[in-house]
């Protein structure tokens, strides 16, 4: 598929049919698989070199699992993940470890992702030792340089994580991710655990680092305002599937999928006049279980514009024009047997 974005036009990461299923087992000794949680269920998208692709959706939709599966922290159940022309799903051992120098992750919780028993110097310097990049005085010098790059005092290398605030800890996590000079970074909700006053600082830091080092981001979040600010393109995810993907401006100006429209209607606008005239779309019901997704479209149980075909057939994720991808029967030709049912429903 062809993507329109603000990147270089060169595809760095390509995901084809990515699936990540977790088994549901019963029994204590002889565990029997009785089903699967379909956390990620057939994703197709690409990330261009130098761009930021935002991945949004409500909690539990599979965003973080997608990021981990791309980096092979989870080995995918099915599908392919290409880094340039290299299929990461076929790699293992030393080959995969060497490839990981080119891709890193910034974790969501800066309190849980840093080892409390290690100093900052050891935390940031560990990747340098693992990949045999620097040792001794050279390693110390590199760690101090990284701390300076992320806005921390380089002489804090002998301090422990508990001596830093949440925002400072996340900067340490960013420094650790930068240690091996990666090209691609998965940012897994890097600001969701931070105070609002600190979030903007971290976002600005990530943008500055992208410009300075030519980084490519997959930015995972559920805050649509933040994603709009930092992303070039945005993918909207629901129950393990991407339902819409397009340019940032296009998504906010003309959202096509009913789920995207509902999400955007919940974003407050700092203008009382416009806000008072806006219609809020309230979704009824709960998100179905990923262990037992509905037949047809995953969103059919909550969609305010659901049709008969939606409950029987899954829509294709296709280009609706200009690189605006959407998976919805509203923009496809409805099969004749379902079209007749819709005409009867409208007449009644």
CA 83 to chain centre: 16
Q: State the pLDDT at residue 348.
A: 43
- Name the token pair of 40: 């990620």
Distance between CA atoms of residues 174 and 189, nearest Å: 13
The tokens 């091996």 sit on which residue? 180
Could you tell me if 315 and 329 are in contact, meaning their C-beta atoms sit under 8 angstroms apart?
yes
The pLDDT of residue 135 is: 86
Q: What is the pLDDT of residue 30?
A: 76
- pLDDT, block means (10 residues), the chain with 348 residues: 55 96 84 90 95 93 95 95 94 89 91 92 92 88 95 94 92 95 95 86 94 96 88 96 96 94 82 70 87 93 92 93 94 79 51
Sheet holding 11-26, edge to edge: 32-48, 11-26, 78-83, 86-87
The residues, ordered by sequence, that sit 6+ positions from 105 with a Cβ below 8 Å of its Cβ are 67, 68, 71, 73, 177, 185, 186, 187, 188
DSSP character string of 19-84 = EEEEEEEE-SSS-EEEEEEEEEEEEEEEEETT-EEEEE-STTSSHHHHHHHHTTSS--SEEEEEET
Please report the pLDDT score of residue 347 as a whole number: 43
pLDDT of residue 342: 61
pLDDT at residue number 34? 87
Homologous superfamily of the 1-22+36-231 domain (CATH): P-loop containing nucleotide triphosphate hydrolases (3.40.50.300)
List of residues 6+ apart from 268 with CB closer than 8 A = 275
Query: Are residues 38 and 293 in contact, defined by beta-carbon separation less than 8 angstroms?
Result: yes
Specify the pTM: 0.90
What pLDDT does 53 receive?
97
- Residues 6 or more apart in contact with residue 47 via CB below 8 angstroms: 7, 11, 12, 13, 14, 53, 184, 216, 218
Instruction: Give the pair of three-digit tokens for residue 84.
Output: 């340039």
Q: DSSP characters for 124-173?
A: HHHHHHHTT---HHHHHHHHHHHHHHTTS-GGGTT--GGGS-HHHHHHHH
DSSP3 helix / strand / coil % (the chain, rounded to 5): 35, 20, 40
pLDDT for the residue 7: 59
């Amino acid at each position: 598929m062809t993507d329109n974005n603000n990147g270089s036009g060169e595809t760095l990461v390509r995901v084809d049919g990515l699936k990540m299923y977790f088994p549901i087992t019963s029994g204590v000794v002889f565990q029997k698989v009785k089903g699967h949680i379909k956390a990620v269920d057939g994703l197709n998208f690409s990330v261009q070199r130098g761009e930021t692709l935002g991945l949004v959706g409500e909690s539990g939709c599979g965003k973080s699992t997608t990021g981990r599966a791309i980096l092979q922290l989870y080995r995918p159940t099915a599908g392919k993940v290409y880094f340039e022309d290299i299929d990461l799903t076929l790699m293992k051992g030393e080959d995969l470890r060497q490839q990981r120098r080119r891709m890193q992750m910034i974790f969501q919780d800066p309190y849980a992702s840093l080892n409390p028993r290690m100093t900052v110097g050891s935390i940031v310097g560990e990747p340098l030792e693992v990949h045999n990049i620097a040792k001794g005085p050279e390693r110390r010098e590199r760690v101090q340089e990284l701390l300076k790059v992320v806005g921390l005092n380089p002489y804090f290398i002998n301090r422990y994580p508990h001596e830093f605030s949440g925002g400072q800890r996340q900067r340490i996590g960013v420094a650790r991710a930068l240690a091996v000079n990666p090209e691609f970074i998965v940012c897994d909700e890097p600001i969701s655990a931070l105070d609002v006053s600190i979030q903007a600082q971290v976002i600005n830091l990530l943008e500055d680092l992208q410009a300075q080092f030519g980084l490519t981001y997959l930015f995972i979040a559920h805050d649509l305002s933040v994603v709009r600010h930092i992303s070039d393109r945005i993918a909207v995810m629901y129950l393990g599937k991407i339902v819409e993907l397009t340019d940032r401006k296009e998504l906010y100006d003309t959202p096509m999928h009913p789920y995207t429209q509902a999400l955007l209607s919940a974003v407050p606008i700092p203008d009382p006049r416009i806000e008072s005239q806006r219609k809020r779309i309230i979704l009824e019901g709960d998100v179905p279980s990923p262990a037992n997704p509905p037949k047809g479209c995953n969103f059919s149980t909550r969609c305010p514009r659901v049709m008969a075909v939606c409950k029987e057939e899954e829509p294709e994720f296709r280009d609706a024009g200009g690189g605006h991808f959407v998976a919805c029967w509203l923009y496809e030709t409805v099969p004749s047997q379902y079209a007749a049912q819709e005409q009867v429903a409208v007449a009644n």
